[in-house]
Amino acid sequence: MPVHQLSDDPVLHYELRPRSALESDARPRGSEPGTGRRYRVTINEHGARGPAHPLRKAPDVFRIVFVGGSTLYGAGVDDDETMAASLERALNERAALGRRVEVWNFGTSAYNLLQVTRVAERSLERLDPDLVLVQLFNENRRAFLVKDQAPQDAVLRFVHKDPYFVREHASARPLNAAALRWSALYRSYAALVILPGVDVQPESVVGLSVEAVARLRARAAARSIPLRFIPIPAMRRCFPVAVCDDLPSEHVLVMNVPGRAPEFYEVHPPAPVLAEYGRIIADWLVADPSLGLAGPGASMSAPTGASTGAPDHEEKNQPRRN
């Protein structure tokens, strides 16, 4: 995976590789090689996709850090066709005179909320953002990037360092939470002795997601950095529900547009749909007077084709890895 690498951060497991690039074919499933459109992925020196912005934020810049999974990353599209790139263009067309908007794309394939919020937390001090956007999506366990070593050895590497690994793989078990967080020896014991006989319960991942989002909200609030949350349209609602239940409805944008073509709800939609996502998000952010992206007199309202808050939780959708 040329644009990914193992991470020194035990929570992330892997991350985008700074100063890397990839050219590939995006083609329909089952079609012949060479029949799809070519696309290019560029990871800049700061580990974000797309052109690099200066690390030091200029006084006239409104900086947005956007974190999420592969829908945000932009599977199968060029750097300037991602949702983040489209959002940056749309905001610079709409933003208040004299302000320039940067959108940093930290979308990473198969990340879950534990990883996404970790990236966001690290950005709070390093990048000094004016706003953090969090893509909400799957409830799956974190994936591994295993290279040049046996899978069991790779897993044990994470068990020793990762305070969340055992909890992620077992929920209602007689495990000592404090020991799991602070003792590598106890984590190894739990992984080797307890986990082999445990059926994984999704509640364990959901619980970690709820905690991770709450932790990010507290740390962002301490730095007076606003957060906004955007479920991927493929879920057609705010998801995971347990996370959404704790969020202010006005801080959540659900892009559920009845009657749209199926491609609008694909996990990896084509470039024109990603561009529409960017415009919908831009309208929503500009309409929020607390963010200061519009001139005097702006009022908060949901953009056309979207709503704030979470629709009916009873709607049935299966989790997807994105």
Burial tier of 97 (Cβ tally within 10 Å: 0-12, 13-18, 19+) = exposed
Whole-structure pTM value = 0.84
CATH code (residue 300): 3.40.50
DSSP string, 93-150: HHSPTT-EEEEEEEE-TT--HHHHHHHHHHHHHHT--SEEEEEE---PPPP----SS-
The answer as to whether 256 is a domain residue is: yes
Distance CA 40, CA 59 (A): 32
Alpha carbon distance 240, 117 (integer Å): 14
* Residues spanned by the domain of 77: 4-27+34-141+224-308
Asked if residue 178 belongs to a domain, the reply is no
Gap between the Cα atoms of 116 and 134, Å rounded: 8
DSSP assignment, residue 262?
G
Residue 258 is predicted with a pLDDT of: 82
Partners of 63 in the beta sheet?
102
Residues contacting 251, CB < 8 A, separation 6+: 227, 228, 229, 308
What integer pLDDT is reported at residue 206 of this predicted model? Answer: 87
Task: Say how many Å lie between the first and final Cα of the chain, rounded.
Answer: 16
Give the model's pLDDT for residue 235: 86
> What is the predicted pLDDT for the residue at 290?
94
Indicate whether 108 belongs to any domain: yes
CB under 8 Å to 38, separation ≥6 — which residues?
23, 24, 25, 26
The amino acid at residue 305 is G
Cα(78)–Cα(271) distance, rounded to whole angstroms?
Answer: 8
Residue 288 lies in a domain: yes
Q: How far is residue 208's CA from residue 189's CA, in Å, rounded to a whole number?
A: 21
231 in any annotated domain: yes
List helix spans (H) across the chain: 70-73, 83-94, 113-126, 151-161, 165-169, 177-182, 184-189, 202-222, 241-244, 271-286
Structural domains counted in the chain: 1
Query: How high is the pLDDT of residue 317?
Result: 40
238 within domain boundaries: yes
In single-letter form, the type of residue at position 235 comes to M
Instruction: Identify the pLDDT of residue 67.
Output: 98
Classify 230 in phi/psi space as left (phi over 0), alpha (psi -120 to 50) or beta: beta
Query: Is 281 among the domain residues?
Result: yes
Helix, strand, coil content of the chain in percent (nearest 5): 40, 15, 45
The verdict on residue 96 lying in a domain is yes
Please calculate the CA angle 35-41-43 and round it to the nearest 5 degrees: 170
Measured CA to CA, the distance from residue 295 to residue 52 in angstroms comes to 28
Output the tens digit of pLDDT for each of the chain's 322 residues. 689 998 989 899 899 999 999 998 875 555 455 556 889 999 999 999 998 899 999 999 999 999 999 999 999 999 999 999 999 999 999 877 778 999 999 999 999 999 999 999 999 999 999 999 999 987 788 887 665 555 555 556 666 677 787 777 665 455 555 565 555 555 554 554 445 444 445 567 888 999 999 999 999 999 999 999 999 999 888 988 999 999 999 999 999 888 889 999 999 999 999 999 999 999 999 999 999 998 554 444 555 556 665 444 434 344 445 5
- Nearest-angstrom CA–CA distance, 289 and 114: 30
Q: Which tokens hold the place of 135?
A: 């893509």
Q: Is 98 exposed, middle or buried (0-12, 13-18, 19+ CB in 10 A)?
A: exposed
Residue that the structure tokens 């970790």 belong to: 118
